[in-house]
Structure 1
Amino acid sequence: MALITLVYEETNQTIRIKGSQFTEQIKTKWEEINCNTSVFRYKIDNIEERIVDQKYLLQLNPDRLTKRRTPEQIANICQPFDKNKFNFTKISKEEILFKLKEDNNDDNHIIVVNVSPITRYHTLLCPSVDKCLPQVVTKGSLKLAIDLLLVAEDRDLRIAFNSLCALASVNHLHYHLFIERNTLPVETVQCKPLKGPLHCIKDYPAPAFCFEITKKSPKIDEIYRLIEYFLQKSIAHNIFVTRGECVDEENLNEVSYRFLMWPRKSSSGVKQLLAFNVATCELSGWFAVHSRDAFNNLASENLEKELRKWSIENFEDLCEQAKSLY
């Protein structure tokens, strides 16, 4: 696991990441930007939230519907980077929380605020930002994201990724970082083994593959094998990495994380902004809701119906194909 250092651009101060210090640094810097600049498209203060059936988390965020940047039009999951479109080389210095430096790696990784945040402290990890890579997971960026999560050692930190045609808004490689105190359904739902390190979640409206990762076994190669398969088959996908209940008995005494990957129907074209969109957070059971009426009245059956709507239809067949990779 790589050692990771935070670098503050304005002072060139460096801090070696250790434990929950990372999330505390995000919170502190995020609050500074929120209070002292005008980079956010809207302010997030006290978000109203509701738990539906002791399971699904709803948070009311109407400004995200009307004030966010218009998402880029996406035609396929390997669409090339376009320097003429919005990308993270065009952001202001005020939006950068800090840079990340890996030992023995000169790539320029940055962590920036999401100027249209889903929730407080919503930030973006932009790996190798100067290389102008499209929104396609690379093995190097996957390792960086997982290393960051394992080094931070904070139960509230989650990492998410939306592929192109899976509601990614910007075609420039980035991961979402969230700090959320609530337990989410996918962190406790049961998993069943498929083959080797590959599992899938059971009895959940949106079927997903699951890998259990620990500091001793981050499973970068195994996970990337499935990602490559999805890319080869043009399968849109959403990824969510979070602390969760143990999947393999051999890890009972380890701090374990769930790497969840949803194959889904393509959302090619501009996002359809309704009561909520189904991207990674929603698939995890966490819904950013755009209207007061929907927030007050949505029930489990409404939420689960929408999750099923975007779930891939041949998941059982895909499970059989995925087994051949392990």
Structure 2
Amino acid sequence: MAPLFVSRVPTVYSLQQLEEEYATPEKGALSHPLKPVGDLTSSLLPRLACLSRTSAVPSKRIRSFGDLQAIVPDSDEERSLTDFSDEDGVVPQNPPLFGFGEGSSLLDTVLLAEWEDRAEQGLFRYDVTACPTKVLPGAYGFVAQLNEGRGSKKRPTEFRVDKVDQPFDEGKFNFKKALQQEVLFQFDASAPGGLTYSASAPVSQSPNLVFINISPIEYGHVLLVPRVLDGLHQVVDQRSMQLALNLCHESNNPYFRLCYNSLGAFGTVNHLHFQAYFLAAPFAVERVPVEPIPAAKGLYSNIIISRLLQYPVRGLVFEADESAALLAPAVAAACQRLTAANIPHNLFVVDCGQRVFLFPNAFAGAKAAGRVPKDLLDTMVDPAGFEICGHIIMKRAEDYEDLSQQSIWRLLEYASFTEEEFEKFILLALDL
């Protein structure tokens, strides 16, 4: 099978053409595109506002991709990104890859139209749509991408990787130094009037901003930066976790996933941010079986906490039983405990904010201790949240061509805690 390529959204679309029902006839307007974000005084930026989701919200329970055994049998052939059935065994003929079309959300429409506008302006370091992508043979359906620009043009890390909690440093790169033209819109998740969009609106005192990622992994790759002017370091709290879940909820698209990487778990900027993008295929981890943790039952009302089974990286799964709004306190509390214990960790949010995966990440420690074999180090792949969950970004053509489920499994195992370490991790993360 020939390598697959990510499809572009046709550039002829305007916001008005795409979603006339939302009455958004004009593209977002930036009053000072070449000024830094830190100088937002008197600036006008597009603004998308939604209802607060801190109250009870019925769980969507999307589970769009079913389970591992039922959906993805072993195969000796690479598969197309559309070769995946839904939970009823039906293969979607035209999956809503980027949310355009009937039933698409306002957030998806605005985000991708603005993202495409920045692509046309040449703001990205490379063209991610030219990166070949394939689904590897095997039961897990790992998705691999060759992205040589990610290795050669990505901004280098500027801080220690052995300490999770580090103070915000104005002298190093942070998102206040990014240009305002990299901002797609303000995201206000506390608007009492419901979902609205303004193409040009005054900024709040310290707005939540959605940026492009100038070194993208996928089409539509964005960064959510809470309260950008407050100088928050890369540590999750309840307020920021709730904001991230709100973004996923408003997307209302199972192909939109969100990730958080702490320092030491391959977060590369010490300014609080989450990453998100669209991928029209299941991540391997989404279909892996789980086992509820008996000691966690009743720990948080209407939340099921389980552990992953049959996966190379040991992790926890937080699932909303009735309300996604209840997830933020539970997940944030776990992250706070891990940060205090200096344990690097990654979060992965799926099902429109209904399910959150939490992984302790041991890879940097294994590298420092000399336990990672040279052939794996030579690939320059440091598994952060997206890689751990099944989207592997290769930086050299030879590694991409030779990649297999077995080689990915071998790489990811070095990111995992041992069983003994993971049992202690569960006690700490859940405060048992």
The two structures have a TM-score, normalised by structure 1, of 0.87
Bigger share in strand: 1
Q: Which runs of 4+ in 1 moved over 3 A?
A: 7-19, 104-107, 320-325
Q: Partners of 2:288 and 2:364 in 1: how far apart?
A: 26
Provide the residue aligned with 1:3 in structure 2: none
Q: What is the distance in 1 between the residues matched to 2:363 and 2:311?
A: 20
Paired amino acid for 1:287: I
- Identical-residue share of aligned pairs (%): 25
User: 1:33 and 1:265 mapped to 2: Cα distance?
Assistant: 36
Q: 1:273 to 1:23 in 2, by over 3 A?
A: farther
| Counterpart for residue 261 of structure 1 | 358
1:4 aligned partner: none
- Deviation at residue 102 of structure 1 after TM alignment: 3.0
Q: Which residue of structure 2 aligns with residue 90 of structure 1?
A: 177
Query: Structure 2 residue aligned with 1:132, among 224, 227, 231?
Result: 231
Q: Where does 1:19-34 land on structure 2 (aligned, <5 Å)?
A: 20-34=105-119
Residue 171 (1) aligns with residue 270 (2): yes
1:186 to 285, 288, 306: 285
Quote how far apart the aligned CAs of 1:107 are.
4.0
Instruction: Please tell me whether Structure 1 or Structure 2 has the larger radius of gyration of its CA atoms.
Output: 2
* Cα distance change, pair 290–237 in 1 and its aligned pair in 2 (3 A): same
In structure 1, the residue matched to 2:349 is 241
**Which of 228, 233, 249 matches 1:150?**
249
Q: 1:199 aligns with which of 272, 283, 306?
A: 306
Question: Could you say which residue in structure 2 is the equivalent of 1:208?
Answer: 315
Aligned to 2:125: 41
Q: How does 1:3-14 map to 2 (within 5 A)?
A: 9-10=30-31, 12=45, 14=47
- Partner-residue secondary structure (3-state), 1:168: coil
Q: Which residue of 2 aligns with 1:68?
A: 154
C-alpha distance in 1 between matches for 2:322 and 2:280: 22
| DSSP 3-state at the match of 1:203 | coil
1:67 is displaced (CA, Å) by 1.2
* CA contact 2:348–2:385 (8 Å) conserved in 1: yes
* 2:334 equivalent to 1:226: yes
Matched residues, number: 307
Residues 48 and 187 in structure 2, CA contact (< 8 A), matched pair in contact too: no
Unaligned runs of 5+ in 2: 1-27, 32-43, 52-103, 192-203, 298-303, 369-376
Distance 1:126 1:237, change over 3 A: same
Instruction: Kindly state the Cα deviation for residue 35 of structure 1 after the two structures are TM-superposed.
Output: 0.6
2:136 aligned with 1:52, yes or no?
Answer: yes
TM-score by length of 2: 0.66
Tell me how far apart the structure 2 counterparts of residues 171 and 297 of structure 1 sit (CA, whole Å): 34
Q: Compare 133-142 and 8-17 and name the one that shifted more.
A: 8-17
Q: How far is 1:164 from its partner?
A: 0.5
Deviations 1:105-132 (A, max 9, x none): 9641111111111121111000011000
**Offset at 1:9?**
4.2
Find the aligned partners of 1:214 and 1:108 in 2 and give their Cα distance: 31
**Residue aligned with 2:211, SS:** strand
Q: For each residue in 1:172-212, what CA deviation from the matched residue of structure 2 results, as whole angstroms up to 9, or x when unmatched?
A: 00000111111111111111101223211111000111101
**Quick one: distance in 2 between partners of 1:132 and 1:185?**
34
Question: Gaps (5+ residues) in structure 1?
Answer: 1-6, 244-254
Q: Compute the displacement of 1:266 (Å).
A: 5.9
Residue 293 of structure 1: how far off its partner (Å)? 0.9
